[in-house]
Amino acid sequence: MSQSSIRRVLIANRGEIALRIIRACHEEGLEAVAVTSDADRHAPFVRAADAAIAIGPSPPAESYLRIDRLLDAARTSGAQAIHPGYGFLSERAEFAKAIEDAGLIFVGPPSSAIAAMGDKTSARRLMQAAGVPIVPGAVTALTHPDEAHGLAEGIGYPVLVKASAGGGGKGMRVVHAAADLPAAIEGASSEARKAFGDGSIYLEKFIVRPRHVEIQILADAETTIHLGERECSIQRRHQKLVEESPSVAVDPALRARMGAAAVAAARAVGYRGAGTCEFLLAADGTFFFLEMNTRIQVEHPVTEEVYAVDLVREQLRIAGGLPMSVRPGTLSPRGWSIECRITSEDPANGLLPSAGTIRWLRPPAGPGVRWESGVESGSEVTLYYDSMLAKLIVRGATRTQALARMRRALDELMVVGVATNIAFHRRLLDDADFIAGAIDIQFLERRPDLLALADDEATTLRLALTAALLEEERRRSRHPKAQATRSGRGDPAGPPSRWLDAARRDGLR
C-alpha cells in the first residue's frame, strides 16, 4: 500500500478552520503545526496542535499574510506541507508558487490553476472555451472607461461592474442606467485597487433575482468528480450567511448538468484537491458560471453531512500523492444539511463587528448537531480578524427535520459578552418564504426586517449582558484578595497582567 509523502502539516490559518484541519490531520495520522499571532496565543486551535510557532503581531499583514514567516515556520517545524485553509493567502497564486519553489507541498491545487481562476476575465475565457456557460458580458478587462457604454448597451441594463481580481463582493456595483455607469466604474475600480492591488474591472449582465448555487468538486491525479450542490442564496453584501445541501431548486437532472459543467471547469485548469464552482441559477433552470473558489469553502460541512465524505481528509490524501477514497458513481445525497454562520456582528449597531470577551458560551448539542468554532468561554474577540465566531451545522432526514433541528440548536446556543447575529437566524428560520425555499441572492435586500433588531430582542440582549456583568461583579467580590493582586503588584487599580491571566488559563487546562 502506498504511503503519503506528508507526515507533518503546517496550517497557515487560524480560528475554526485551523482547528478543523488539525482534527483532520490527526484522524489521518499526521502531525499538525499551528502558527499564531500575538492575539491568538491562547486560542483553542493553538492548544489542539502538536506544536505552535509564533509568527508576529496581531494585525494579519504582520503575521498570517507574511509568506516569508509562514515558510520559515514550515522549515523550522519540519513540515512537509502547508494547508492554507480559507481566506488570508488561500487563493494567492504567489503563495502556492512560493511553497512549490521551497520544495514543500501546497495542500490545494497547483499555483497555475489558482492563477488561471484568480483573474475573473481570464477564468471567463477559459470557461467559455471549455463549454461552460458564462454570464453574458465581457471576457477581457476594460482598457478605457469609454468602452463601458458600448458594452453596457450591447449587454442591456442592468449591468454589473466587477473587479477582475479578488472576490467577496468587493469592487462590485450594479448599474441600472447609463448615467450611473461612470461613477460605478470609478467606485468599483478604486475599491478593487485598495482591496486587491489591482483596479482592473469588466462588465457582465446583471441577472435579476437568481439563486447562488455552487458545486463541490474533488480531483486527484486521475479522476475528477462532483459532490452535488449547495444553496448559498441567503447573503448580505455578497457575504453568505446560511447554506444548505441539497437545494430545493435542483432536481437530479439539473444536478447532473451543473456537476458536469463544474467537472469540465476543473479539468480545464488541471485542478487537484477540493474546489468549488459557483453558479447563478435562473428561475427557468438556466445557469451561468460565476467563479471558482480554489480552496476549501466555509460551507463545506453541509456537503460532508449529506455525502458522508470528509473533504479536508481528502485534501490531505490527494496532496500526499494518494488517490481520493471516493469513486465516481458511488455518491448521492442523503438527507438534508443546513449551516448558519454565527458572527460577532451587532444588530443594534448596524451589524458592525463587535469586540470583547466571551463571558459565557453554551454551544448546542444533541442528535444531528455539529458545532465548529474557534472560540470558547474566556476568548477575546478582536477587530483584527473576520467576525465569524462559529459555524452551526445540522443534519436531518428531510429539510423539514433539518429546519426544526436548527431552530432547536439556535435556542440552545448562548453567547454572552459580544453581540451576535443569532437572533437573525432565528427570525429567518421562522420566515414563511424561507421555509418554502422561495429565496434568491437579493432576498435580504427585500427583507431588511429580518436583519433588524426587534424591541423585545434588544431588551433580552440588554438583560443578558446585565446579568453577565452582575455575575462577573459577584465573582470578583467573592475573591477580593485575588482581585487586589490581579495586576501582579498588589495594586487593585493597576492594569491586569496578561501573563497572570495566561498562567491562570494554563492552570485551568
CATH of the domain at 153: 3.30.1490.20
Three-state SS string over 27-58 comes to HCCCEEEEEEEHHHCCCHHHHHCCEEEEEECC
Q: Is the model's pLDDT at 503 over the cut of 70?
A: no
In a domain, 240, yes or no: no
In a domain, 129, yes or no: no
Q: Work out the percent of the chain whose per-residue pLDDT is above 70.
A: 89
CB contact at 8 A, 29 and 322: no
Which is the catalytic residue, given 20, 124, 295, 359?
295
Q: Are residues 457 and 356 in the same domain?
A: yes
What distance in Å separates the CA atoms of residue 55 and residue 65, rounded to the nearest whole number?
A: 10
Q: Are residues 342 and 452 in the same domain?
A: yes
Confidence of residue 296 (pLDDT cuts 50, 70, 90): very high
In a domain, 356, yes or no: yes
| pLDDT score, position 347 | 84
Q: Work out the percent of the chain whose per-residue pLDDT is above 90.
A: 80
Of the candidates 197, 203, 200, which has an alpha carbon nearest to the alpha carbon of residue 61?
Answer: 197
Domain holding 100, by residue range, is 8-107
Structural domain ending residue among the three candidates 205, 232, 265: 205
Q: Are residues 149 and 99 in the same domain?
A: no
| pLDDT score, position 275 | 98
In a domain, 17, yes or no: yes
As given in the structure block, the three cell numbers for residue 148 are: 463601458
3-state secondary structure at position 279 = strand
Which of 323-332, 404-413, 483-492 is predicted least confidently?
483-492
In a domain, 198, yes or no: yes
Q: Are residues 461 and 483 in the same domain?
A: no
Task: Please report which helix (H) or strand (E) contains residue 354, including its range.
Answer: none
Is 295 a residue of the active site? yes
- When computed from its CA atoms, the radius of gyration of the chain, rounded to whole angstroms, is 24
Structural domain ending residue among the three candidates 205, 232, 258: 205
In a domain, 506, yes or no: yes
As given in the structure block, the three cell numbers for residue 355 are: 469586540
Q: Are residues 354 and 383 in the same domain?
A: yes
Alpha helices, H only, 250-310 = 252-268, 300-307
Output the domain CATH number for residue 15: 3.40.50.20
Q: Is the model's pLDDT at 500 over the cut of 60?
A: no
Query: What's the total number of domains in the chain?
Result: 4
Confidence of residue 58 (pLDDT cuts 50, 70, 90): very high
Q: Are residues 85 and 12 in the same domain?
A: yes
Confidence of residue 1 (pLDDT cuts 50, 70, 90): low
Position 226: which residue type? H
Q: Are residues 73 and 142 in the same domain?
A: no
What distance in Å separates the CA atoms of residue 109 and residue 199, rounded to the nearest whole number?
A: 26
Instruction: Say what the pTM is.
Output: 0.86
| pLDDT score, position 330 | 79
What distance in Å separates the CA atoms of residue 43 and residue 183, rounded to the nearest whole number?
A: 44
> Sign of the CA dihedral 253, 294, 174, 126?
negative
Q: Are residues 466 and 365 in the same domain?
A: yes
Structural domain ending residue among the three candidates 178, 205, 232: 205
Q: Are residues 58 and 188 in the same domain?
A: no
What distance in Å separates the CA atoms of residue 141 and residue 203, rounded to the nearest whole number?
A: 8
What distance in Å separates the CA atoms of residue 12 and residue 389, rounded to the nearest whole number?
A: 18
Q: Are residues 77 and 157 in the same domain?
A: no
In a domain, 73, yes or no: yes
Q: Are residues 76 and 144 in the same domain?
A: no
Mean pLDDT (whole number) for 440-453: 92
Confidence of residue 459 (pLDDT cuts 50, 70, 90): low
Of the candidates 326, 370, 372, 334, which has an alpha carbon nearest to the alpha carbon of residue 246?
Answer: 334
What distance in Å separates the CA atoms of residue 509 and residue 504, rounded to the nearest whole number?
A: 9
Mean pLDDT (whole number) for 315-341: 94
Q: Are residues 457 and 412 in the same domain?
A: yes
In a domain, 127, yes or no: no
CB contact at 8 A, 222 and 317: no
Mean pLDDT (whole number) for 79-94: 97
